[in-house]
Structure 1
Amino acid sequence: MSRQPLTIAPIAVHEPSRERLRGIASMVAGVFVFSIMDSLMKRLSAHYGPLQISCLRCLSSWLFLLLPIGWHGIWATLRPRNPQLHMFRAVLGIGMLVGFVIAVHRLSLAQTYSLFLAAPLLMTALSVPLHGETVTGKRWAAIIVGLSGVLVILQPWGKGEIPMIAASAAALATVCYSLSALTVRSLGRSNSSMSMVFWYLLLVGAASGLLAIGDWRPVLGSDWVWLIGIGITGALGQMWLTDAFRRAPPSVVGPFEYTAILWAFAIDWIFWSATPSFSLVAGACIVIASGIVVIVDERRLADLALNPSSPPP
């Protein structure tokens, strides 16, 4: 799941529920197109290095992003506010993309996603020191149980099916993405969604390209169609994902990334004839169940804050 970054603000429990629903819808749509993009990146990872793929992924999406910007004539809205945070977000984006490409090259899409599922739980935990949000004991327990599900997937106590280098790369991608997603809440106060996506793709693409110069390989003619697909799905996914975190707190929209595992299982089975192991399914279910607990508890507190006179659910 190649995505983006952050600093944090308290959950605005007074936000209209309509905005939260729109944020959830944007998250689900973004996750769907990103799963398509990630499968294309996995295909390219057999021939190109992680930094080159990061560059091609971002710049191809950036070029497609220019079309709606030029069509609507919204160049003035692209002016970056808080450039330091944009740069920090770009650094996190490079770490996330490189880690993800390394992981997905060695693992199935479902395995990589199952480890990446810990991101929403990390977002909730990190929202405390970064955004000053309040996390209940129930949610802390769900986070701990969810992370134990990651251990079930990794099986460090035996001969696990996931090599350490792939697990470490997935962990790097997960941490960078969690921090990246939280920065959107801060950038969203003074930057438009289009501006955040525009500068994220441009900065990450340009920086990754410079870092990849020494190991750059000519793009094969047969791979251009996959790059076009990455560009289209990446641009759409980036806009929807940024919109999701801009409209609602990470603790609300983050857990809906779990829908990605369904697409990953389907893609692995259709294109790579790969079926998930019992430990993978069991661990993913534990992480997903923990995420659902986080969602329910956050909504309970939000409803209670809006209607303090109503009895607790």
Structure 2
Amino acid sequence: MSHPSHPLRGVLLMLAAVFFFALLDATSKTLAATYPIPFLAWARYLVHCLLMLVFLGPRLGRGLLSTRRPGLQILRALLLVGVTACMMAALRNMPLAETTAVVFITPLLVAILARPWLGEKIGLNRWLAVGIGFIGVLFIARPGGDLNLEGIAWALACAGCYTVYQLLTRQLSPTENTLTMLFYTALVGTLTMTLAAPWFGAVPAIRGWDWALLCAMGLFGGSGHFLLIAAFRHAPASTLSPFLYVQLLWATLLGWIVFGHLPDGLTTAGMAVIAGSGLWLALAQRRESRRG
């Protein structure tokens, strides 16, 4: 079913979505200092799953599970679990803004793999954007810098999982219901982390407001993905993609307000290069789609 085009509404929904994602990361970083990463991932998906069951279950029922390609749905959901766990591990070891910036090489990796995976053509502009983007990563993860190498490794692992997740999303989107795809990520994430519970290790007693933060992770994650879906119903991807990079601004602002951290000069330059290359890539794809 087609939806009327409301580009401004789509942009506003996208800006709200990336704000929720930045809040999710800031909350995860706060809790990761105290609680095991697998436990945090379990809480995030459990709340997300319960929210979908409460608000969408009565209306959609078994339709939430109706899919033509259950294997790919499960694989895609497992990859998002990997994204969540790797992101939380990276945030435990690195500042919020820098971690977000490294993970934002994902669109560049998607551009590289889109040709062999999806058969998409890659023009010279897209290759240049990818190359420049990786230079930005080197600015951030430079030898002799202050960033934790383990944190950088986790952030790169997160970007790798997120890349394959996005490619599978492109592959499934033409035939699958978006809410079903969203529910599979919540359900598979909950079941996977529940089965992994015996290996969580000892979970410290949950302190007062931490209960609220644990619930907030699921609320922020579920709401962010829901708003993202709604945004793409009102505006095309070529219009919305550049606004994904506003999350870097939110991450920098929250990192300063919540954790008292601001990136140094070279790191800021690297973040700007990654964002600029991503915007260049999005605009190049937009021009190619118009010509097509």
Shared fold, TM over 0.5: yes
Cα distance 1:231–1:16, how it changes in 2: closer, same or farther (>3 A)? closer
Q: 2:170 aligns with which of 172, 175, 185?
A: 185
CA-to-aligned-CA distance 1:246-289 (integer Å, 9 cap, x gap): 88887765443211111011111111111111111100111111
Amino acid at match of 2:103: F
Whether the 8 Å CA contact 2:238–2:286 is kept in 1: the answer is no
Q: Would you say 1:236 and 2:219 are equivalent positions?
A: no
How do residues 13-32 of structure 1 correspond to structure 2 at under 5 angstroms?
18=5, 26-32=13-19
How do residues 270-309 of structure 1 correspond to structure 2 at under 5 angstroms?
270-305=257-292
Amino acid at match of 2:86: G
Give the corresponding residue for 2:130.
Answer: 143
Name the % identity: 30
Q: Would you say 1:52 and 2:51 are equivalent positions?
A: no
Cα distance 1:250–1:98, how it changes in 2: closer, same or farther (>3 A)? farther
Quote the offset at 1:112 in angstroms. Answer: 0.5
CA-to-aligned-CA distance 1:130-171 (integer Å, 9 cap, x gap): 111111111101100111100011112xx1111211111000
How do residues 152-191 of structure 1 correspond to structure 2 at under 5 angstroms?
152-156=139-143, 159-191=144-176
Q: How many residues align?
A: 288
Q: Distance in 2 between matches of 1:76 and 1:175?
A: 32
Quote the offset at 1:74 in angstroms. Answer: 1.2
Gaps of 5+ in 1: 1-14, 306-313
How do residues 1-313 of structure 1 correspond to structure 2 at under 5 angstroms?
18=5, 26-70=13-57, 73-78=59-64, 79-156=66-143, 159-214=144-199, 215-217=201-203, 220-222=206-208, 223-242=210-229, 253-305=240-292
Q: Give the TM-score, by structure 1 length.
A: 0.84
Whether the 8 Å CA contact 1:123–1:182 is kept in 2: the answer is yes
Cα distance 1:26–1:216, how it changes in 2: closer, same or farther (>3 A)? farther
Gaps of 5+ in 2: none
CA-to-aligned-CA distance 1:41-84 (integer Å, 9 cap, x gap): 1111012112111111111111112222145x111421233111
Q: Give the TM-score, by structure 2 length.
A: 0.89
Quote the offset at 1:174 in angstroms. Answer: 0.6
